[in-house]
């Protein structure tokens, strides 16, 4: 009896010890199974693990964040391996995942087009990190490539607008700024048509003390944009309502339809005085109208949607920019779990060292490609930051958009084919998640090869791109091989 009681006491004591040891871990299932109770009691308390739930929008962000989080917390990815964030359709379980999270890590720059609705439905509060915060997004060059904004192009445009027109209307100008007259008659103003068509008028000027002639007219800017103002002779001076002289944004070299001088002035909404001075005769042919009035009517931005305004989200394809990601993620982790600050700081530092090594490795690889062959054609505009960093020229994209969720026109396809032929770009690169049909068509016409196995937007479950660093090495290897 006595012996038995002793055994029970011993057992209870052991049980208490065991519970005490386990109790220092946050939860039973997060304690490593192999670790015995005794070891756990001897080691630093397993308070290493934090109780926050961290969710990253997509796989490569989850991996980057996991490197910073270390052993303290497991970072999960909202999107599965192989999903293209550009075209992602939220799954029914996504709302719950977000609702449970204490920290949500996004890329930002509108990469997660699906997130707003999910956040609304999830409700609650959490720390949200946009990893790209602090990086100035590239704007897509393609859109403006077709539109030449040089003074020469503007001069040409003005001449085209004026072609065949003659100055039928004659306007008696004011003798000074105070007496400046409306450039356009009240009737036309009411119809609102004058702003869209370039007109030529004859300005009747006023004699000046020095024997030259000058005149002052009023110009109404109804919308902030560039106004091209031209005259057959003299000098053009534009002043705002406060009397301040405005610099021409561009000096135009006009030599058509009798015009010789001109400039493009960016005029915020308001009234401006345009003076034409130093003319030898008492009248001068003159014109003033907005540039590119057609832009607002045709909706040319349609094919690239909202991503145009936000800019290029693909910063992760330059590891140097991922260093900024790491800083933002580290700060978010510390905000959500201040006790882990020391760990997060140390992990971030270690991972940044790996990113720096990765950058050096990429430079070495790219060095093996002759400079004149560093030409990139991609399916969508994904490699701008990568190209900037490693000295590639982006020849073009099959889909001239920052998103895979866009289309291309026959004209754009034809232009790309020309560019490929002109530059000798040897390959078209695209991600495995992209549709290769158009790229294959272009390859048929140009004879270039298609490398359609890159991992630009997602990691793979295991090889070849199980981590962000492996993903970059895998992509660079294929690009280098494809260009040699």
Question: Applying CB under 5 A, which residues contact Zn ion?
Answer: 382
Could you tell me if 168 and 146 are in contact, meaning their C-beta atoms sit under 8 angstroms apart?
no
Cβ closest to Zn ion, residue 200 vs residue 382: 382
Residue with the closest Cβ to Zn ion?
382
The minimum distance between CB 459 and Zn ion, in angstroms, equals: 14
Distance of CA 367 to the CA centre of its chain: 27
The CA-atom distances, in angstroms, between 184 and each of 201, 238, 264, 265, 316 are 9, 16, 19, 18, 53
Strand (E) or helix (H) holding 248: none
Is residue 326 within 8 A of residue 64, CB to CB? The reply is: yes
Give the Cα separation of 277 and 275 in Å (integer): 6
Q: Which is nearer to Zn ion, 73 or 382 (CB)?
A: 382
Q: Which is nearer to Zn ion, 25 or 402 (CB)?
A: 402
Question: Which is closer to Zn ion, CB of 109 or CB of 420?
Answer: 109
Q: Taking the complex as a whole, how short is the minimal distance between the CB of residue 439 and Zn ion, in angstroms?
A: 14
In angstroms, rounded to a whole number, what is the distance separating the alpha carbons of residues 456 and 278? 61
> Bridge-partner residues for 399, per DSSP?
380
Q: Which is nearer to Zn ion, 161 or 403 (CB)?
A: 403
Q: How far is the CB of 433 from Zn ion (least distance, A)?
A: 9
Q: How far is CA 47 from CA 126, 260, 347, in A?
A: 22, 79, 17
Nearer to Zn ion by C-beta: 386 or 390?
386
- Least Å distance between CB 84 and Zn ion? 8
Q: Which residue is listed with tokens 């599965």? A: 80
Q: What's the min distance (Å) between Cβ of 382 and Zn ion?
A: 4
Task: Take residue 327 and report the two structure tokens written for it.
Answer: 């800083």
Least distance between Zn ion and beta carbon 397 (Å): 10
CA–CA gap between residue 150 and residue 436 (Å, rounded): 36
Could you tell me which of 277, 263, 260 has the C-alpha nearest to residue 205?
A: 277
* Number of helices (H), then strands (E), in the chain: 16, 20
Q: Is 398 helix (H, G, I), strand (E, B) or coil?
A: strand
Instruction: Tell me the closest approach of the beta carbon of residue 315 to Zn ion, in angstroms.
Output: 11
In the complex with Zn ion, the residue whose CB is nearer, 288 or 382, is 382
């Amino acid at each position: 009896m006595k012996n038995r009681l002793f055994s029970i006491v011993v057992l209870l004591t052991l049980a208490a010890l065991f519970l005490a040891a386990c109790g220092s871990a946050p939860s039973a299932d997060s304690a490593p199974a192999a670790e015995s109770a005794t070891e756990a009691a001897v080691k630093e308390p397993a308070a290493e693990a934090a109780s926050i739930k961290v969710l990253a929008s997509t796989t490569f962000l989850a991996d980057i964040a996991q490197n910073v989080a270390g052993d303290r917390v497991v970072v999960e990815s909202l999107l599965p391996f192989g999903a293209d964030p550009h075209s992602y359709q939220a799954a029914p379980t996504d709302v719950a995942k977000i609702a449970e999270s204490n920290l949500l890590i996004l890329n930002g720059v509108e990469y997660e087009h699906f997130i707003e609705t999910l956040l609304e439905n999830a409700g609650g509060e959490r720390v949200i990190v946009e990893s790209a915060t602090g990086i100035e997004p590239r704007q897509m060059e393609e859109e403006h490539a077709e539109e030449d904004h040089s003074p020469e192009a503007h001069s040409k445009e003005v001449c085209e607008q004026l072609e065949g027109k003659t100055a039928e209307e004659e306007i008696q100008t004011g003798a000074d700024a105070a007496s400046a007259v409306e450039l356009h008659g009240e009737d036309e103003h009411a119809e609102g048509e004058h702003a869209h068509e370039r007109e030529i008028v004859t300005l009747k000027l006023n004699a000046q003390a020095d024997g030259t002639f000058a005149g002052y007219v009023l110009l109404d800017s109804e919308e902030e944009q560039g106004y091209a103002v031209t005259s057959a002779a003299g000098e053009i001076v534009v002043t705002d309502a406060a009397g301040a002289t405005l610099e021409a944004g561009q000096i135009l070299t006009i030599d058509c339809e009798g015009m010789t001088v001109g400039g493009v002035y960016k005029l915020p909404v308001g009234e401006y005085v345009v003076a034409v001075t130093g003319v030898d005769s008492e009248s001068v042919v003159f014109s003033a109208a907005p540039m590119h009035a057609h832009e607002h009517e045709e909706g040319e931005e349609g094919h690239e949607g909202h991503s145009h305004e936000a800019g290029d989200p693909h910063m992760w394809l330059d590891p140097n920019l991922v260093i900024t990601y790491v800083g933002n993620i580290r700060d978010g982790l510390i905000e959500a779990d201040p006790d882990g600050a020391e760990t997060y700081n140390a992990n971030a530092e270690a991972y940044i060292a790996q990113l720096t090594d990765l950058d050096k490795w990429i430079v070495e690889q790219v060095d093996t490609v002759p400079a004149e062959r560093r030409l990139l054609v991609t399916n969508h505009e994904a490699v701008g930051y990568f190209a900037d960093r490693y000295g590639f020229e982006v020849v073009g994209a099959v889909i001239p958009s920052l998103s895979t969720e866009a289309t291309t026109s026959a004209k754009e396809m034809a232009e790309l084919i020309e560019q490929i032929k002109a530059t000798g770009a040897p390959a078209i690169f695209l991600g495995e998640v992209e549709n290769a049909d158009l790229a294959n068509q272009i390859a048929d016409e140009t004879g270039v090869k298609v490398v359609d196995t890159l991992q630009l937007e997602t990691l793979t479950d295991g090889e070849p791109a199980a981590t962000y660093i492996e993903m970059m090495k895998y992509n660079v290897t294929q690009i280098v091989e494809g260009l040699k």
